[in-house]
Amino acid sequence: DLFQYDPERLNAIENFFIRSEKPYNAETKPSMLISSFLTPVEKFYIRNHMHVPFVNINQYKLEIGNEKSTYSLSYDDLKDKYQSYTITSALQCAGNRRNGMNNEQQGTVQGTQWYVGAIGNARWTGVKLSDVLKSFDLDKEGKHIQFFGLDCDTSQRCYGASIPIEKALNDDVLIAYKMNDEILTSDHGYPLRILVPGIVGARSVKWVNRIIVSDKEADSHWQKADYKVLPSSIKQPQQIDYDNVPAIQELNVQSAICYPASNDDGNKIKILSVKPNDDDIKNRRLTIKGYALSGGGRQIHNVQISLDHGKTWLQTELEQLAQPYMRAWSWTLWTYHIPFNDIPSKPFDIICRAMDTHTNSQPDTPLGIWNIRGLMNNAWHKISLQIDE
């Protein structure tokens, strides 16, 4: 059984909507997402394409090299020989919000039907990939940095992905060993994982044991034939010459409403029945909360909500970190209080949308960005609710 080393997952039902058991895929419930600025490890979404691999830390080696030479580092070497860095960064799956891309005219998209919870925000500690590359003089040539994990199928094809060398050399890309100041758990990549901030989760390879500097992208299914936004005309993924479609790297600007929400699967709720909490009743208002994030280190500029289907917008209050220019890796949380007097008695819709510092904004519907694999859905998020008195 390839899955024999998958860990026991305590309180999973409480924290997650479980999308599949083998491989294990679980997204954070919306109410949990906004309950703290850093997502606790036990509530952080898990996206595994295969089993969790067995690791013997005494024999574990990280190989790193190019066509000419290969070097190797033990877990302790890596921790002892290089300076450690900590960054706060969100991690989001390119398939987050896939379910919202299903469409009557354009069709049902293929893949795990995530709602808004394939995202989290954490403190990551590790060494800089650029420091390690430079220490072996591996920063002089090559176009891509390939990463491979210890999770391999029965034909020894291992999870793999790559990023452009420019991203690896210039940015805060980490070989991480801690998440929220604790040693990585096995679901999140123990002993080492790559953390590529600002870029889709698929490139942040877990259980990494091989790093290769090359002129080519990683030759893995997930780099070459998945995690690509295909043209809307493609209704069968097999119809395409994948080499002509670039691999997704940077995330786009995104936001979602996470409170109010129910503990039932967000994909299935048509109209959410909301009982205001005591604090809101006292203040005669309804509190709305959510997250926002952009890619490539761009900070969130504003998040707005609309109660009239986008005719007028209300500015929310942001909770965000002061981060260096083009290094805004953390997400932003936002809050708005709607006075009871402004709430219709009938069911009504709330929409949210974010803008980043480059004035990138979200599309109003997923129609124009529909793709068969349901990737990169960042259309305005909408919930329908009614107040339950």
Collapsing DSSP to helix, strand or coil, 72 comes out as strand
Interaction between residue 16 and ligand MTE (CB under 6 A) = no
Minimum CB distance to Mo ion, residue 368 (Å): 22
> How many residues can be counted in the chain?
389
In the complex, the smallest distance separating the C-beta of residue 17 from ligand MTE, rounded to whole angstroms, is 14
Told to check if 297 binds ligand MTE by CB under 6 A, we report no
Nearer to ligand MTE, 49 or 327 (CB): 49
Least separation in angstroms between residue 384's CB and ligand MTE is: 28
Q: How far is the CB of 161 from ligand MTE (least distance, A)?
A: 7
- Relative to beta strand 285-293, strand 272-274 is unpaired
> Which sign does the torsion angle of CA 310, 286, 97, 315 carry?
positive
**Distance between CA 224 and CA 233 in Å, rounded?**
20
Instruction: Determine which helix (DSSP H) or strand (DSSP E) holds 282, and give its type and residue range.
Output: helix 278-283
Give the residue from 107, 79, 87, 61 showing the smallest Cα distance to 173: 87
Does 177 engage in binding with ligand MTE (CB under 6 A)?
A: no
Query: Tokens 């190797």 sit at which residue?
Result: 72
| Shorter beta-carbon distance to ligand MTE: residue 132 or 158 | 158
Residue type for position 99: N
Is the CB of 16 or the CB of 159 nearer to ligand MTE?
159
- Interface with Mo ion (CB under 5 A), residue from 87, 90, 93, 173: 93
Instruction: Kindly tell me which residue out of 43, 97, 128, 188 binds ligand MTE, with binding defined by CB under 6 A.
Output: 188
Neighbours of 19 (CB within 10 A): 24
Assess contact for 352 and 381: CB atoms under 8 A: yes
- What does the per-residue mask of binding to ligand MTE show for 196-235, with x meaning CB under 6 A? -----xx-xxxx----------------------------
Of 160, 85, 91, 89, nearest in space to 130 by CA: 85
By the rule CB under 6 A, 51 interacts with ligand MTE: no
For Mo ion, the binding residues (CB under 5 A) are 47, 93, 201-202
For ligand MTE, the binding residues (CB under 6 A) are 44-50, 91, 93, 149, 151, 159, 188, 201-202, 204-207
